[in-house]
């Protein structure tokens, strides 16, 4: 048994008998030894460590896919915003000219005056035509398949009819 040296009249206390003297000739408090459990052993058992590792693994399996999916969700949201803005510009064009730009004029009619439009009756509807968040140009169909005109992005792969990240994002979905 280990011994601690504590000032005492007439000897040394053992760990279980140790007394703390608060003040000379004042109150004396007894400190009880640790009850139950392992004495003198600190740390964790292998089982405890394995349980923690398993819990961390489960958390990682749930959280990591959600975090990794966020950039793709942000790109899809940005594409929807771009399409909504371009659709507003197309609607303004239609209000000014009575019709949407034809397929040949495409979205370029929003930034450059088409030859068949009077100079005095045209203005730029957007400063520049953006690419989708994956770097591909937006596609314009007049007449549209899903509505009067269709404006869409082909997604990350740039190919029609994808799924997930590669899914098409169109004006008809807004």
E strands, the chain, are 3-4, 13-14, 19-21, 28-30, 139-141, 150-153, 169-170
Same domain for 94 and 11, yes or no, is: no
**Are 30 and 78 part of one and the same domain?**
no
Sorting pLDDT into bands at 50, 70 and 90, what band is 64? confident
- Specify the number of domains making up the chain: 2
Q: Domain range holding 111?
A: 74-173
CATH code: domain of residue 109: 3.30.700.10
86 and 162 part of one domain:
yes
Domain assignment present for residue 19? The answer is yes
Q: Are residues 84 and 160 in the same domain?
A: yes
Residue 41 lies in a domain: no
Mean pLDDT over 66-80 rounds to: 85
Gap between the Cα atoms of 119 and 121, Å rounded: 5
The answer to whether residue 44 is domain-embedded is: no
Q: Mean of the per-residue pLDDT values for the chain? A: 81
Q: Which residues are paired to 169 by β-bridges?
A: 153
Q: pLDDT tens, 1-21?
A: 455 555 555 555 555 555 444
User: What are the tens digits of pLDDT across the range 99-108?
Assistant: 999 999 999 9
């Amino acid at each position: 048994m280990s011994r601690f040296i504590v000032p005492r009249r007439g000897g040394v206390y053992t760990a279980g008998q140790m007394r703390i003297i608060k003040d000379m000739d004042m109150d004396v408090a007894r400190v009880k030894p640790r009850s139950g459990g392992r004495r003198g052993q600190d740390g964790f058992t292998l089982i405890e460590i394995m349980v923690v590792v398993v819990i961390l693994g489960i958390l990682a399996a749930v959280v990591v896919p959600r975090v990794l999916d966020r950039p793709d969700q942000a790109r899809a949201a940005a594409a929807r915003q771009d399409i909504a803005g371009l659709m507003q510009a197309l609607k303004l064009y239609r209000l000014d000219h009575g019709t949407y730009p034809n397929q040949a004029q495409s979205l370029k009619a929003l930034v450059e005056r088409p030859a068949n439009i009077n100079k005095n009756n045209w203005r730029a509807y957007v400063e520049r035509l953006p690419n989708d968040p994956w770097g591909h140009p937006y596609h314009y169909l007049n007449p549209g398949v899903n509505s009067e005109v269709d404006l869409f992005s082909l997604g990350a792969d740039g190919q029609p009819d994808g799924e997930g990240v590669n899914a098409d994002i169109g004006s008809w979905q807004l």
